[in-house]
Amino acid sequence: MHINSEIMAKILDELDLAHKNECLALSTSDEQTKALCQKYARDHRNRASLLVGLQERSE
């Protein structure tokens, strides 16, 4: 199995950003900010999923 380290680094970056946005959403009481952070977290998780698919195709 060949792992592309560049793609793997991008996957980890996206997951880290998703986690940070989830933490921000949990720490705020402002509903608009919470919703925006949750949206950003979903966007980052979706990008990570796309990168996982790219990694699998490159194996």
Q: Give me the DSSP letters along 5-59.
A: HHHHHHHHHHHHHHHHHHHHHHH---HHHHHHHHHHHHHHHHHHHHHHHHHHHH-
**Which pLDDT tens digits describe the chain residue by residue (59 residues)?**
577 899 999 999 999 999 999 999 999 999 999 999 999 999 999 999 999 998 888 77
Q: Which domain holds residue 29?
A: 5-58
Residue 19: its pLDDT value, please?
Answer: 98
For residues 11-20, one letter each, b for 16 or more C-beta atoms within 10 angstroms of the residue's C-beta and e for the rest, the string is beebbebbee
Asked if 3 and 54 touch (Cβ cutoff 8 Å), the reply is no
- Tell me how many domains the chain contains: 1
